[in-house]
Structure 1
Amino acid sequence: MCGIVGAVAQRDITPILVEGLKRLEYRGYDSCGVAVYLDGKLRRTRSTQRVSELASQIEQDKLNGFTGIAHTRWATHGAPLTHNAHPHFSAQGKDEPRIALVHNGIIENHDELRAELQAVGYVFESQTDTEVIAHLVNHLYQGDLFEAVQQAVRRLHGAYAIAVFCRDEPHRVVGARQGSPLVVGIGKHENFLASDALALAGTTDQIIYLEDGDVADLQLDRVWIVDADGREVSRKQNTVQVHTGAADLGPYRHFMQKEIFEQPRAVGDTLQDIEHITPELFGDGADKIFKEVDSLLILACGTSYYAGLTAKYWIESLAQIPVNVEIASEYRYRDSVPNPRSLVVTISQSGETADTLAALKHARDQGMQHTLTICNVSTSAMVRECALNFITRAGVEIGVASTKAFTTQLTGLFLLTLVLAKARGRLSAEDEAAHLKALRHLPAAIGSVVALEPQIIAWAERFANKENALFLGRGMHYPIALEGALKLKEISYIHAEAYPAGELKHGPLALVTDEMPVVTIAPNDALLEKLKSNIQEVRARGGEMYVFADADSKIASAEGLHVIRMPEHYGMLSPILHTVPLQLLSYHTACARGTDVDKPRNLAKSVTVE
């Protein structure tokens, strides 16, 4: 969630640190800060404002240096106040600070360590678990920062990625990771650390992905890495091309709007030039694994969980394979019945979602070794941990509320559905051709839905002064209603809930008034007539209905019934199309309410803490 950037160089690295923070700010924006070595001392600037304000403070403070670290924070321990902002310093007594440190993750034994360090004289200025690490490193320091960090991390329980440097060794930065992502950037007579390669775009394209337990020693002309046992290891150096243009708004008001409009391209790129439905779409050995499995276990969180729920409808319908979809953060804490013949499928935009990674490990520990991930980052931990993978090509997603990552996940899951159906002899050549044709047309179909934006803006103006909303869907569109409600909650702060439309009469109908807008997804499918009855239930109680209806659904606007017609009915792929207007409705409602669309309060991207 939080963002880390670090550097050791022979030039002023402050602009690199600040630019890196700007690119990582979507991962956490409660506070930010930079620390450098300057004139024989550690100097820092911290802010509870955005990175742009921090940059102004840095210029005013004339902060520059050849060695430094930077951080943008999503608050866990301690409120988003300046004294809790990173970097944290550690000093002995009244001496000048000696250690500067930034940290992503959560240290579970921080209370125990805090008491131990206070007992030997360390004074804490913050409520964070991070300051504990800084003091611990300082306490263990005997002239070799690399050795002190190795000793310190052996005492830590929990998840972390850290970057640290020392006043007494000014041309050295040390990093370590366990459960949170951290990369090394290789330069010429300079080296870098970051929580994401995006932060280093334009500075270096040579990236090393550290593994859990690694500790990295960065100096001007070398990078030294040891594993959790202290043994020197060699990690692969990758050439990573990150397009900095992905972080430019262009003509759009917000990144979320840009990413909604990028969905035709993102889905098209994800499909690439797929000509046939083959197991190899998911990696070598997929054919053998798909023939061995007799069920699926899908593990995911948030929006990705709703993608999994949609896939359950597809897979059980077309492939006739039972599917269980679990919220990853709950799965490993309950007693479940493992099935070694189940295919464990994880879904994650970042591939670093801590809860999903932990659930995957738990499933493997229970004997379920057939694993596959649907992920947007080919170099992520999720991809490395799973035997098979399908890489979506959404590109960098900056807005905290997921849009193009979700629709590309659905695209990948539909391809998985077809592959599993074909492996079981349930996909005829004619059906395969028809589904491929529909997939190829999907980008254009999404483009037609995006064109509904002007009509949706008019609805958003009506929603802006509401505080509650209901979303209804039936069958495979119920998860899309859940996703629509989540989007509205995330960015407009309107309380929204979603229900299967048939459940209205079992409780939620009690909430319906003319102040409670009810959004309904109305595709022209087998459940349409049932859904029309549910619509009448709402109208009879004075509710205001907002219906996204297929062109041929024969639902007409009337008093208390507002209808926007979708360009076409899209069969099994209809959930993907109906997702897009719900995204636009949430986006424009948030704009009308004046909220911070890309950086909603209390939230952040890439949830790398449990």
Structure 2
Amino acid sequence: MCGIVGAVSTRNIVPILVQGLQRLEYRGYDSCGVAVYADGLKRARSTDRVAKLLNQIEQEHLSGMTGIAHTRWATHGAPAVHNAHPHFSHGPGEGAAARAGRVALVHNGIIENHTELRQALQAKGYRFDSQTDTEVICHLVDSLYEGDLFDAVKSAVAQLHGAYAIAVFCKDEPHRVVGARAGSPLILGVGREGGENFLASDAMALAGVTDQIVYLEEGDVVDVQLGKYWVVDKSGRPVTRAVKTVVAHSGAAELGPYRHYMQKEIFEQPRAVADTLEGVQAVVPELFGDGAYRMFKEVDSILILACGTSYYAGCTAKYWLEGIAKIPTQVEIASEYRYRETVPSPGTLVVTISQSGETADTLAALRHAQSLGMTKTLTVCNVATSAMVRECKLAYITRAGVEIGVASTKAFTTQLAGLFLLTLALAQVKGRLTEEQEAQHLKAMRHLPAALSAVLALEPQIINWAEHFADKEHALFLGRGLHYPIALEGALKLKEITYIHAEAYAAGELKHGPLALVTSEMPVVTVAPNDTLLEKLKSNMQEVRARGGVLYVLADADSRIESEDGIHVIRMPEHYGPLSPMLHVVPLQLLAYHTACARGTDVDKPRNLAKSVTVE
């Protein structure tokens, strides 16, 4: 969460900083700000969006050749200008004797010992203007500064407990920005002209500025100056980090003919799935990396670690992995797994799922599993250069492209595509997949883009449903078996962007409590594919109708469920067997999207949320 951009240049760097913030705004939009050196420290901060900040910058004629910028997702302190980054230090003293504005700093992450540090700094005479943990770091660096900012930052981060990515500069050294990271991502961008260099929390922020990227590692501190930079590791030793050419496509962030990024990304799913499966001509373990065959042979169980939408992808994969590959599979919420006692097994394949590959809880859970001796690791991830990919032995890179909308859509369906391939690869290695079955599954996967396009054609019917949902405050989602996780994902999408309270249940659990909630004012969405559980599901639907509930049913064409009073049916184009979840989730995404439009909420930037959750 949150976005950082920093730069040292011989030209006015403000336009690049603002452009970087606009590309990172989906990571946090509670507030934003820019600070530069211009005969001292100058800044502009706002609780509006970056576009409004730009107006403020132009009105104040803010410019400079060294600067940092930030877009915030609030943790400590409410969204307010005085809590917005960048923060300036306020040195000891009263009135005219106080030293103000020597150090400027931006920060992603959470500092767990900020209270103790704040008290110590206040005792030294430092004044705090915000409720943030970030201001503590700023004053701490100032208190340790003795003419060398790099040394001050190294000393400061040694006192921090928690997660951070920081960028800091000092008015006494106007052509120098220092960065540091632990638990939150930070990259160095090596400039292409004039010796300029950059820092950012994501390479996309620097698209069009530089494609020469250095991925800083855990505990690194980097000194960025004109024409040079250097890095020390967490032990303080100088290290060389590889410079990689990274093509970050800024064009992926253009809306084109769509109203919102979420709508654009929903409709990109046929292409995203096709790209994710491109080049898959046969099921071979090597799709997941060198050494996959040997590792898969040794696997006797699977542990999936993920959060949010990725967790629901893992829950879906559990049905595939146990039903097709016949491998016992456990799915854990990453933030819960790392804090409870478990029984580790060296034969377990630990699978992490993450869109960004930087999800803090999932990374921490992965490291916890590794510390327990579970070294067989694989990630399904959308970012090839992410920490998750670097820290796992095997990987399947989905090719969803940049996902800007906070509510994940195409990342989810591409994760499912990668997880189904993993299922087939494991089944093959274990001798549980015949050539005929492999051919059938591959044929079905190749047809997925066309099948997804056919589902997207249902949008007009979904819009009609959305009009019914727009004035509701509660909704219930039901699914059974393989489609229960899809009901969970549908409920999550609705609550994320419409603010309608939505819950999902395995339909068989309806009579064990949730039925008490059902009234004519609580729509009940039912995922009803024509599978072995259909007749059971029909009985659950009758339980809803008998209590006056109104059903909204996504049914396969041959399921013999008809529209009538209190039952609204949308027929899916075709039954898709094990891959059916990938099709049934799309109408639920569209329902959430069009209901949000009808209610007038901020679809791409829902309140209290942000993309890429890099804090615990």
Q: TM-score range by the shorter chain?
A: over 0.9
Secondary structure class of the residue paired with 1:98: strand
1:55 matched to 2:54? The reply is: yes
* CA RMSD of superposed structures (Å): 0.6
Corresponding position of 1:145? 149
**Aligned mates of 1:24, 1:210 — CA distance in 2:** 19
Corresponding position of 2:254? 248
**Aligned mates of 1:118, 1:506 — CA distance in 2:** 55
Does the 8 Å CA contact 2:325/2:426 hold for their aligned counterparts?
Answer: yes
1:109 matched to 2:113? The reply is: yes
Corresponding position of 1:176? 180
**Aligned mates of 1:439, 1:236 — CA distance in 2:** 37
**Aligned mates of 1:232, 1:82 — CA distance in 2:** 38
One-letter amino acid of the counterpart of residue 254, structure 2: D
CA deviation profile, 1:338-370 (whole Å, cap 9, x unmatched): 111100000000000000011111111111110
The percent of aligned pairs where both chains have the same amino acid is 76
**Aligned mates of 1:149, 1:521 — CA distance in 2:** 54
**Aligned mates of 1:13, 1:328 — CA distance in 2:** 39
- How far 1:301 moved relative to its partner? 0.3
Q: TM-score, normalised by structure 1?
A: 0.99
CA deviation profile, 1:264-292 (whole Å, cap 9, x unmatched): 00000000121110000100001000000
1:459 matched to 2:465? The reply is: yes
**Aligned mates of 1:340, 1:424 — CA distance in 2:** 18
Corresponding position of 1:161? 165
Corresponding position of 2:33? 33
Query: Which runs of structure 2 are paired with 1:54-133 in the superposition (5 Å)?
Result: 54-92=53-91, 93=93, 94-133=98-137
- How far 1:58 moved relative to its partner? 0.3
**Aligned mates of 2:207, 2:129 — CA distance in 1:** 34
**Aligned mates of 1:571, 1:316 — CA distance in 2:** 16
- How far 1:214 moved relative to its partner? 0.5
**Aligned mates of 2:20, 2:65 — CA distance in 1:** 16
**Aligned mates of 2:255, 2:294 — CA distance in 1:** 44
One-letter amino acid of the counterpart of residue 528, structure 1: L
Work out which of the residue numbers 591, 607, 615 in structure 2 matches 1:609: 615
Corresponding position of 2:225? 219
**Aligned mates of 1:270, 1:413 — CA distance in 2:** 11
One-letter amino acid of the counterpart of residue 498, structure 1: A
One-letter amino acid of the counterpart of residue 210, structure 1: L
- How far 1:176 moved relative to its partner? 0.4
Does the 8 Å CA contact 1:41/1:96 hold for their aligned counterparts?
Answer: no
Does the 8 Å CA contact 1:205/1:240 hold for their aligned counterparts?
Answer: yes
Work out which of the residue numbers 557, 561, 575 in structure 1 matches 2:563: 557
Corresponding position of 1:291? 297
**Aligned mates of 1:96, 1:156 — CA distance in 2:** 23
CA deviation profile, 1:427-483 (whole Å, cap 9, x unmatched): 000000000000000011001101111110010011000000000000000000000
Name structure 2 gaps, 5 residues minimum: none
**Aligned mates of 2:593, 2:407 — CA distance in 1:** 9
Secondary structure class of the residue paired with 2:271: helix
**Aligned mates of 2:24, 2:89 — CA distance in 1:** 25
**Aligned mates of 2:187, 2:556 — CA distance in 1:** 47
Corresponding position of 2:10? 10
Secondary structure class of the residue paired with 1:105: strand
Work out which of the residue numbers 541, 544, 554 in structure 2 matches 1:548: 554
- How far 1:146 moved relative to its partner? 0.7
Name structure 1 gaps, 5 residues minimum: none
**Aligned mates of 1:471, 1:382 — CA distance in 2:** 32
One-letter amino acid of the counterpart of residue 194, structure 1: A
Does the 8 Å CA contact 2:307/2:334 hold for their aligned counterparts?
Answer: yes
Q: How many residues align?
A: 609
One-letter amino acid of the counterpart of residue 266, structure 2: I
One-letter amino acid of the counterpart of residue 166, structure 2: I
Work out which of the residue numbers 424, 432, 435 in structure 1 matches 2:438: 432
Work out which of the residue numbers 279, 294, 313 in structure 1 matches 2:319: 313
One-letter amino acid of the counterpart of residue 41, structure 1: G
Report runs of 4+ in structure 1 exceeding 3 Å deviation: none
**Aligned mates of 2:543, 2:389 — CA distance in 1:** 47
- How far 1:205 moved relative to its partner? 0.7
1:506 matched to 2:512? The reply is: yes
**Aligned mates of 1:196, 1:89 — CA distance in 2:** 24
- How far 1:35 moved relative to its partner? 0.2
Does the 8 Å CA contact 2:88/2:100 hold for their aligned counterparts?
Answer: no
- How far 1:521 moved relative to its partner? 0.4
Corresponding position of 1:382? 388
- How far 1:70 moved relative to its partner? 0.2
